[in-house]
Structure 1
Amino acid sequence: MKKLSLIDKFIFIVNSILATILFIAYFSYYVSPNSISFVSILSLSIPFLILINLIFAIYWLIKLKKQFWLSTIILLLGYQYIAKFYSFSEKKVLLTKDIKVMSYNVRMFNLYNWIEEKNVAQKIYDFIKDKDPDILCLQEFHTAAKIGFNYPYKFIKTSNKKNNFGHAIFSKYKIINSGSLNFSNTSNNTIFVDVVKNKDTIRVYNVHLESLKINPKKDNFNQEISDKLRVRVENSFKKQANQATLITEHLKKVNYKSIICADLNNNAFSWVYRKLIADKNDAFEVAGEGFGKTFDYYFPFRIDFILTDKALEINNFKTFHIPHSDHYPIMARLNFNPS
């Protein structure tokens, strides 16, 4: 520190604070929101903290200063998190026999005109028709949309008889069983189906965890609003934890391969992600490319996932950056019968 200029001393102090926060934030992956909710909130900042610490490391490296090691060591300690944040190469194995699985939060097909664009529902339908997934999981589905998906099998679950808002699974393969986990005190939910392809039965979950109820593009933050948001986010994280636990308990009763298509309203650094990824692969990490951004925001937030049983081979994964919802659709190509 003695050999640093006054400006560099200040930069290193800021560097030290942000490196410490990143190190603490790493623990959000292992700590339940029901135990320490504040640590869970820090998980949302991990992508930003990784980038800023990388910038600090590069800054000190260019200046040939030993302060380079602070952020470098912290980043190396969290190497597994960097792999979840960015995938360096796309796996491109496209087979005629593999299965295309798509997950998409359609935001009620723009029913309330959040997007100032005409025929959004039809554009969503046309996009899905073009990509032609074999299994399609839609979150924030709304039956009022005057479009019909051409699938022989489907399961749609709405919040209640008066509410047309819910979740849907469409399949080209026969559905022999279906159900709902019926989350309490929320419009979010998880539904599931068992589909049969040849002699294989596969359980498919369509998951939509509790929303944080934040609009980062519109919320004007001040101290009072920030305090209210913090409490709201903490409560949402606790609900997410309970919902994820319910899903994993449900999964324990499944005796065959399973796939989770999910809008977690949380990222890959969170406790709920760790809970759901157990004994599964993240299709983005295996076969995706880039940041995998799935939420329409300035920063690359990845909050939508396809998690697959390890017995299933992931051949390809894509995120489609189309502006028809506040989420981007994702699709994985899976081999149900890897050799």
Structure 2
Amino acid sequence: MKKLKFFSKLVFIANSLAAFLLLISYLLPYVPPKSFAILSVLSLGVPLLISINIVFFVYWLLQVKKQMLLSLVVLLLGWNYLGSLYKFSSSKKVDEPNNLSIMSFNVRLFNKYNWKPNKTTKEDIIDFIHRESPDVLCIQEYSRGKPIKLNGYDDFNGRYVKNVKGGHAIFSKLPIINSGSLEFEDTNNNAVFVDVVKGNDTIRVYNVHLQSAKINTQIDYINSQYSREVFLKRVKWAFQKQQSQVEKFLEHKSKCSYKTIVAGDFNNTAFSYSYKKILGDDLVDTFEKAGNGFGKSFDIKFFPLRIDFILADKRFKVNGFKTYNDISLSDHYPIKATLNLNK
């Protein structure tokens, strides 16, 4: 570092900080938010930290400086993280007999309060679902009141938390033989589940909506309304609530012997404690198996945030995955996975 010019020294100091933070972030999936909440907040910034370290690596590489090794080594240590952030391969799509398609979509109450200026957003969402026609549809923030009519779905399981504006529903083209709800305490969030029959198999499908920090994601709004202290306080609180919700979910899931699919809005990234615990040893992230690009599922400017997931039992073959980030019907983008039990 002694041979570096003053500006390069400043760059390397910034590089060292970014590399250190990324290295620390590798511990996040193993640190319960209740034990160290402030560290868990860092999980939201992991995509940015990875991108920054790639930029630093390229910067030093172009100058043929050995300082490039710092970010390179840290990135290589977290190689598995890169697969969660970005998939270089094209989307996989395999058509096979007995494929099963699962869609997850946070519809934001079907635009009940006119967040989107388009007055036909509700009808547009319904038309989109009819076009894609998944076998099982998991909806978060399903509005109360008159049930939504979806052609081709003979049954659905809607469960609501008491005294809130919306809930969550599962629509199915497959026979539902059992259904239920996990009521999370002191929150508008919860999880619902159904057991569906396909051929000779009974499959458990969970629709999970974990705690949100309830923060407006517009950068100018955050800068004007939220101090850094308030922002951190809200996120820490949300992640601690998520831990409790995940613990309740895992206790419920442990009693099920069926092949399981977990879909929903986790309100956290693939670098978080909540995601890691839900994924466990028996599920796979269908985006990592068959998706491509960043898989951005939340509408926030200049930031590839993936907080919606479809996790499937390892006994399924993942034949496809798609993120519909070319449509703007909610603050989330719908995602769909295609699975098959034929080995």
Give me the TM-score of the superposition, normalised by structure 1. 0.96
1:225 positional shift: 2.3
- Equivalent-residue separation in structure 2 for 1:6 and 1:108 (angstroms): 54
Q: CA deviation at 1:22?
A: 1.1
2-structure distance, mates of 1:163, 1:272: 24
Are the counterparts in 2 of residues 109 and 145 from structure 1 also a CA contact under 8 Å?
Answer: no
The answer on 1:134 being equivalent to 2:135 is yes
Would you say the 8 A contact 1:207–1:262 is kept in 2? yes
Give the 5 Å matches for 1:91-102: 91-102=92-103
Aligned pair partner of 1:249 in 245, 248, 251? 251
| AA of the residue aligned to 1:7 | F
Opposite residue 306 of structure 2, the aligned amino acid is R
For the pair 1:109 / 2:110, whether they are aligned, the reply is yes
1:174-253 superposed matches below 5 A: 174-217=175-218, 219-221=221-223, 225-253=227-255
Deviation digits for residues 104-142 of structure 1 (CA, Å, limit 9, x no counterpart): 000000000111112100000000000000000000000
CA contact (8 A) 2:164 2:188 kept: no
State the partner residue of 2:50. Answer: 50
User: Among the aligned pairs, what percent are the same residue?
Assistant: 49
Q: In the alignment, which residue of structure 2 is the partner of 1:287?
A: 290
Question: What runs of 5+ residues in structure 1 fail to find an aligned partner?
Answer: none
The structural deviation recorded for 1:164 is 5.2
1:295 to partner: Cα distance: 0.2
**Cα pair 1:122 1:147 within 8 Å, conserved:** no
CA–CA distance in structure 2, aligned partners of residues 110 and 27 of structure 1: 38
Using a 3 Å threshold, how does the CA distance of structure 1 residues 178 and 273 change in structure 2: closer, same or farther? same
With normalisation by structure 2, the TM-score equals: 0.95
- Give distance in 1, aligned partners of 2:300 and 2:278: 25
TM-aligned CA deviation for residue 222 of structure 1: 6.2
Output the CA distance in 1 between the equivalents of 2:314 and 2:222.
43
Give the equivalent residue in structure 1 for 2:5.
5
Of residues 152, 155, 159, the one that matches 1:153 is 155
Q: Could you tell me which residue of structure 1 aligns to residue 30 of structure 2?
A: 30
Identify the residue that residue 118 of structure 1 maps to in structure 2: 119
* Counterpart pick for 1:301 among 292, 301, 305: 305
- DSSP 3-state at the match of 1:204: strand
Work out whether 1:316 is the aligned partner of 2:320: yes
Query: Contact 1:111 / 1:145 at 8 angstroms: preserved in 2?
Result: no
Partner of 2:60: 60
Aligned-residue RMSD, C-alpha:
1.4
- The Cα shift of 1:220 comes to 3.2
- 1:77 matched to 2:77: yes
The offset of 1:224, in angstroms, is: 6.5
Contact 1:83 1:285 in 2 (8 A): yes
Residue 181 of structure 1 aligns to a residue whose secondary structure is strand
Deviation for aligned residue 1:158? 1.7
Counterpart secondary structure, 1:260: strand
Q: Which residue of 2 aligns with 1:330?
A: 335
User: What amino acid does structure 2 have at the position aligned with 1:226?
Assistant: R
Shift of 1:6: 1.0
Equivalent pair of 1:144/1:164 in contact (CA under 8 Å):
no
Q: CA deviation at 1:262?
A: 1.5
Alpha-carbon distance in structure 2 between the residues aligned to 1:122 and 1:136: 17
CA deviations 1:246-289 (Å, max 9, x no partner) are: 11111110011000011000000000000011110000000000
User: CA offsets, 1:189-243, max 9 Å, x none?
Assistant: 0010101112110000000000011112153326972211211111110000111
Gaps of 5+ in 2: none
Cα distance in structure 2, aligned partners of 1:200 and 1:224 = 50
- CA shift in 2, pair 1:147/1:274, >3 Å: same
> Which secondary structure does the structure 1 equivalent of 2:221 belong to?
coil
Partner AA of 1:249 in structure 2: E
Greater shift, 209-218 or 263-272, is seen at 209-218
Q: Which amino acid aligns with 1:70?
A: L
